[in-house]
């Protein structure tokens, strides 16, 4: 099936990493004689922060992306290794060596999938898809916690897929290599001393396009006792890119101490001491759009407005509707 790709080269480079570690994930792809070659040797030097990858992680990203591009009915088996070649340089973020930390690898995996899919779109445009949002982590260490329950609250947050040729991106969900569900409000409020005061899709957060990006989720918490809040997220400074004329999705945000003089929008990683009755808001990134927004089906745009995915103002500004 690799031979179905047209021969040639595709090259993509994505700059910026989670946790504020600068750099690049660069890769080239070549299809020749039925062999798909992926070259990561121009990736940035391994980072001091926990955003490095080992080759096994890179391999997972490559096979995931390749299978998704070739067709959903293709299952991974070891025979695929016979038609794929991977090239690395030592001590880079895609081939890190000790003592380089890797604990935040998943966010980098998801960036790498975006890079690979963009390169593969050169060979198989019908399967092209815009950048997705990213998974993120929220940890709350409670002073006491509920009786009989853990005092440590940990959640994985989803985001949204980018639009692709012929389809919109899915909203408020785990993307690509992530597969964890968003924790229901009822479980959080029954097991931990918190209150969820908002939980909704964010209008106009998906990138505009002929096929728009999925909408991001927004969740607001009120603390019912003192706690340490730790947040790791991505796609804030570099939001999910659109393709083929589609626009970028809205970037992720994390804002603490809402509606107080100390309200503060945080960087992408941090630890914060917060008091009972203080609130914070987390917002994931929306998916990038695919194709020229002015070519979006008018009935689909009207449905977007009616269902709250797109505001009337954004429809006029971004879609010319």
Do 177 and 288 sit in the same domain of this protein? yes
What is residue 19's predicted lDDT score, i.e. its pLDDT?
45
Contact between 304 and 315 under an 8 Å Cβ cutoff? The reply is yes
Do 77 and 166 sit in the same domain of this protein? no
Do 170 and 84 sit in the same domain of this protein? no
Long-range pairs for 94-99 at CB < 8 Å and ≥24 separation?
94/25, 94/40, 94/43, 94/53, 94/55, 94/58, 95/40, 95/43, 95/53, 95/54, 95/55, 95/58, 96/46, 96/52, 96/53, 96/54, 97/46
The helix/strand/coil state of 116 is helix
Give the integer Cα–Cα distance in Å for 25 and 229. 30
Do 82 and 1 sit in the same domain of this protein? yes
Domain count for the chain: 2
Do 96 and 187 sit in the same domain of this protein? no
Do 192 and 248 sit in the same domain of this protein? yes
Do 186 and 83 sit in the same domain of this protein? no
- pTM reported for the whole predicted model: 0.90
Q: Which of 299, 296, 194, 198 is nearest to 247 (CA)?
A: 296
Do 117 and 145 sit in the same domain of this protein? no
What is residue 61's predicted lDDT score, i.e. its pLDDT?
94
Backbone angles phi, psi at 115, to 5 degrees: -60, -45
| Token representation of residue 196 | 């969820």
Among 74, 95, 127, give the residue marking a domain's end.
127
What is residue 259's predicted lDDT score, i.e. its pLDDT?
97
Among 111, 127, 143, give the residue marking a domain's end.
127
| Token representation of residue 30 | 């070549």
- Give the rounded distance of the alpha carbon of 194 from its chain centre: 26
Give the integer Cα–Cα distance in Å for 313 and 321. 9
Query: Across the 321 residues of the chain, what is the mean pLDDT of every consecutive 10-residue run?
Result: 52 50 58 81 92 95 90 80 92 96 92 91 89 94 92 95 97 90 94 98 98 98 98 93 97 98 93 98 98 98 98 96 64
Do 316 and 167 sit in the same domain of this protein? yes
What is residue 291's predicted lDDT score, i.e. its pLDDT?
98
Domain range spanning residue 100? Answer: 1-127
| Token representation of residue 61 | 């990203």
Do 143 and 272 sit in the same domain of this protein? yes
Contact between 228 and 272 under an 8 Å Cβ cutoff? The reply is yes
What is residue 27's predicted lDDT score, i.e. its pLDDT?
57
Among 127, 160, 191, give the residue marking a domain's end.
127
Do 120 and 134 sit in the same domain of this protein? no
What is residue 26's predicted lDDT score, i.e. its pLDDT?
61
Do 237 and 264 sit in the same domain of this protein? yes
């Amino acid at each position: 099936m690799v031979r179905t790709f047209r021969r040639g080269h595709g090259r993509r480079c994505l700059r910026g990493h989670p946790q504020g570690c600068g750099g690049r994930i660069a890769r080239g792809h070549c299809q020749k004689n039925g062999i798909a070659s992926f070259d990561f040797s121009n990736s940035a030097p391994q980072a001091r922060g926990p955003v490095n990858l080992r080759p096994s992680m890179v391999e997972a990203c490559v096979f995931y992306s390749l299978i998704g591009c070739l067709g959903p009915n293709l299952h991974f088996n070891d025979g695929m290794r016979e038609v794929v070649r991977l090239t690395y340089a030592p001590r880079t973020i895609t081939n890190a060596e000790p003592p380089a930390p890797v604990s935040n690898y998943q966010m980098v995996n998801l960036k790498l999938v975006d890079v690979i899919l963009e390169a593969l779109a050169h060979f198989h445009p019908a399967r092209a898809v815009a950048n997705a949002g990213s998974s993120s982590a929220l940890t709350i260490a409670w002073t006491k916690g509920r009786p009989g329950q853990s005092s440590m609250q940990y959640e994985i947050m989803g985001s949204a897929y980018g639009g692709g040729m012929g389809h919109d991106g899915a909203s408020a969900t785990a993307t690509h290599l992530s597969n964890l569900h968003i924790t229901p409000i009822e479980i959080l409020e029954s097991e931990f001393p918190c209150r969820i005061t908002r939980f909704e899709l964010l209008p106009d957060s998906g990138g505009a396009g002929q096929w728009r990006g999925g909408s991001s989720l927004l969740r607001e918490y009120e603390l019912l006792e003192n706690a340490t809040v730790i947040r790791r997220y991505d796609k804030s400074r570099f939001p999910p890119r659109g393709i083929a004329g589609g626009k970028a999705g809205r970037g992720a945000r994390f804002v603490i101490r809402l509606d107080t003089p100390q309200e503060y929008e945080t960087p992408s990683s941090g630890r914060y001491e917060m008091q009972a009755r203080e609130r914070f808001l987390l917002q994931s990134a929306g998916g990038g759009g695919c194709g020229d927004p002015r070519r979006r089906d008018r009935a689909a745009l009207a449905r977007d407005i009616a269902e709250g995915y797109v505001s009337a103002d954004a429809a006029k500004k971004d879609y010319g509707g």
